[in-house]
Amino acid sequence: MATSAPRTLRSPFLMTPSLNSRLPLPSAFSIALRKNGRAVKPLVVVVSAAALDAKPTVLVAEKLGEAGIELLKEFANVDCAYNLSAEELCTKISLCDALIVRSGTKVSREVFESSAGRLKVVGRAGVGIDNVDLSAATEHGCLVVNAPTANTIAAAEHGIALLTSMARNVAQADASIKSGKWQRNKYVGVSLVGKSLAVMGFGKVGSEVARRAKGLGMHVIAHDPYAPADRARAIGVDLVSFDEAIATADFISLHMPLTPATSKILNDGTFAKMKKGVRIVNVARGGVIDEEALVRALDAGIVAQAALDVFTQEPPPKDSKLVQHERVTATPHLGASTMEAQEGVAIEIAEAVVGALKGELAATAVNAPMVPSEVLTELKPYVELAEKLGRLAVQLVAGGSGMKTVKVTYASARAPDDLDTRLLRAMITKGLIEPISSVFVNLVNADFTAKQRGLRITEERISLDGSPESPLDFIQVQVANVESRFASAISEAGEIKVEGRVKDGIPHLTKVGSFEVDVTLEGSIILCRQVDQPGMIGKVGSILGEENVNVSFMSVGRIAPRKQAVMAIGVDDQPSKEALKKIGDVPAIEEFVFLKL
Ligand SMILES: NC(=O)c1ccc[n+]([C@@H]2O[C@H](COP(=O)([O-])OP(=O)(O)OC[C@H]3O[C@@H](n4cnc5c(N)ncnc54)[C@H](O)[C@@H]3O)[C@@H](O)[C@H]2O)c1
Ligand SMILES: O=C(O)[C@H](O)COP(=O)(O)O
């Protein structure tokens, strides 16, 4: 299939297309995401080298439902290439804007490195993202989205299928009868009714398993350190401690994600605390069980039976003692594999990936903060202000790379909970870093990039009285311990200080150092310090006029009449060196600086 040549955009994504002054992406800013009639949390992001190409390229590396492929094809070139080796994936990825995988593909750091900045979205067609190196994705500014809801019921049903078939030896009896035997005495099972089931991980799948197990007459308890007790109570489930859950249960069903904290959470030590004859179901991730310890517990009779859909290594080795164990029922990671779930997952992930490539808001981002669309709409001009203040501040630093500490102050009449500043901080970071480096910064990688560069950004809030109609009164950016190319930008406290406000929806620069100014943050800005006297505006204006540089705005901030003043001049075009020299040669002008926004 056709793929377009790799291309590198220096700053391929901002937070939303409508905020993106560089890419003419279609506006998707006001889209309110809805799912099942309910508003869902969206997130910004965005993306795409593809914005300038005819079509982006999406690599689908594992089988995806047809409905999803069709959706992708409406917007992108779709390359379905299954069973790629790690090397083949790394080679192909440099030609792709998005990658869609299930659990069978390792999206490693090498994949992100090989993409050389082109890969903008990884779509995980399912829930678990333990096969995606999230840190590497974030470091490369690549958004990761998943499809967290479409396979929940399928996984829960598979958990129940394993629970019931394990209890009644269905798989073993089936194999026996097919081999010509009729072993009615050997396959006597155990009943579920009245037995205690511990659901470990009371999230989407766990709670559906619990609901179904209640219907089977089981006594259901659950352990989940993060689940709200009222959600459990609503379906008649008690939340208990880990130790109580494993020590009292007749059946244990695992439904937590694989994380460093849950890795091998069932091990020799925990098996030893369980009731003798306990039965275990795992449709979560193989890695949450120490598989060798499980074999030992089965052999010791602590665990009577296990039913496993997932394994540490998939597929497991052919001679796996666990899979071969007589009292183990195994399925090859089929939890999400129903026609309905795969169709749903395919649509869910295709929509998320296309949305992200178009620059729309994505509700299922895994490695970026979520910002509801209504908040985003309101914050839009402040987001622009934030980035421009960052750009101005860093250009005022003499040798910008020496910048280490930046303090951002938000003045607002809103309650702290009503003002999410992560997006603003990301945009200030973008503004601070992009003019002095070749990295692009977005909501995904802003904090990481700042940390990596040793740039400490602290945030402070000033609570204002009055009507909290607008989210912010002003934003102030202060850069500490640096010298400035424009000495007047240094405040009384010895820091470079710029401050801005939004007026009628337009960002304005309102303070430089200790000088009040008022100039719209559009085009570029010339800042001049001069001795306040009549005719200065005319003099500088006519120099720029002679050079055919259009002046959009001028403002003078002074300490006192006839003392020093700072003049801020907004210009549409970049003045020539000669024009700037002429401005510098005006006798009353003591210093000046040209700043690109
Ligand atoms: N076998 C399959 O095909 C299949 C299908 C879907 C989901 N899954 C797996 O099932 C698991 C759950 O999926 P989900 O959609 O319910 O996810 P979820 O995020 O909705 O639920 C996971 C729950 O685990 C809880 N949890 C986290 N750490 C825990 C800990 N240390 N102890 C107990 N609980 C903890 C979380 O608080 C959360 O409530 C994931 O591992 C997912 O990958 C497997
Ligand atoms: O985490 C999941 O969504 C399930 O494990 C399903 O994985 P799969 O997409 O590889 O079937």
Ligand 1 pocket member 332 (CB < 6 A): no
What is the CA 555 to chain-centroid distance, rounded? 40
Ligand 1 pocket member 103 (CB < 6 A): no
CA distance 357 to 351: 10
pLDDT at 226: 86
pLDDT at 17: 32
Q: Are strands 474-480 and 506-512 parallel, antiparallel or unpaired?
A: unpaired
CA distance 281 to 286: 11
107, 331, 333: residue to mutate for ligand 2 pocket, most atoms within 8 A of CB:
333
CA distance 593 to 445: 30
Closest by CA position to 457, among listed 495, 414, 409: 409
Please report the atom of ligand 1 found closest to the CA of residue 309: 1
The answer to whether 314 is a known catalytic residue is: yes
Ligand 1 pocket member 42 (CB < 6 A): no
Given the residues 140, 255, 333, 425, select the one marked as catalytic.
333
Ligand 1 pocket member 205 (CB < 6 A): yes
Residue 462: DSSP 8-state: E
| Contacts of 251 by beta carbon, 8 Å cutoff, 6+ apart | 163, 192, 195, 196, 197, 198, 218, 278, 279, 280, 281
Please report the atom of ligand 1 found closest to the CA of residue 206: 16
pLDDT at 262: 93
Contact 379, 15 (CB under 8 A): no
Ligand 1 pocket member 71 (CB < 6 A): no
Helix axes 152-167, 170-178, angle to 10 degrees: 60
CA distance 542 to 529: 17
Contact 392, 386 (CB under 8 A): no
Please report the atom of ligand 2 found closest to the CA of residue 283: 5
CA dihedral for 413, 416, 417, 421, sign (positive or negative): positive
Q: Are strands 524-531 and 564-571 parallel, antiparallel or unpaired?
A: antiparallel
Distance 135 CA to ligand 1 centre (A): 20
From atom 40 of ligand 1, which residue's Cα is the shortest distance away? Answer: 257
pLDDT digits (tens), the chain, 597 positions: 333 333 322 223 333 333 333 222 222 222 233 333 333 333 344 444 444 457 999 999 999 999 999 999 999 999 999 999 999 999 999 999 999 999 999 999 999 999 999 999 999 999 999 999 998 998 898 999 999 999 999 999 999 999 999 999 999 999 999 999 999 999 999 999 999 999 999 999 999 999 999 999 999 999 998 888 888 999 999 999 999 999 999 999 999 999 888 999 999 999 999 999 999 999 999 999 999 999 999 999 999 999 999 999 999 999 999 999 999 999 999 999 999 999 999 999 999 999 888 876 567 888 876 666 677 788 889 999 999 999 999 999 987 667 899 999 999 998 877 788 888 999 999 999 988 887 778 888 888 889 888 899 999 999 998 767 889 999 999 999 889 999 999 998 899 999 999 999 999 999 999 999 999 998 899 999 988 777 777 888 889 888 888 888 888 876 665 677 898 999 988 888 888 888 888 888 999 999 988
CA dihedral for 404, 439, 112, 147, sign (positive or negative): positive
Please report the atom of ligand 2 found closest to the CA of residue 104: 10
CA distance 42 to 48: 18
**First and final C-alpha spacing in the chain:** 41
Contact 593, 527 (CB under 8 A): yes
The answer to whether 292 is a known catalytic residue is: no
Contact 80, 60 (CB under 8 A): yes
Predicted ipTM > 0.90: yes
Residue 570 to residues 54, 228, 385, 524: CA-CA distances in angstroms?
Answer: 36, 54, 15, 6
Distance 214 CA to ligand 1 centre (A): 19
SS (H, E, C) 507-555: EEEEEECCEEEEEECCCEEEEEEEECCCCHHHHHHHHHHHCCCCEEEEE
Residues recorded for the chain = 597
Instruction: Write down the number of H helices and E strands in the chain.
Output: 18, 24
Residue 185 to residues 181, 188, 540, 557: CA-CA distances in angstroms?
Answer: 12, 6, 102, 96
CA dihedral for 12, 15, 21, 25, sign (positive or negative): positive
Long-range residue pairs from 291-295, CB within 8 A, at least 24 positions apart, any chain: 291/320, 291/322, 293/264, 293/266, 293/267, 293/268, 294/266, 294/322, 295/321, 295/322, 295/325
Q: Give the Cα-Cα-Cα angle 461, 465, 467 (nearest 5 degrees).
A: 110
Ligand 2 pocket member 388 (CB < 6 A): no
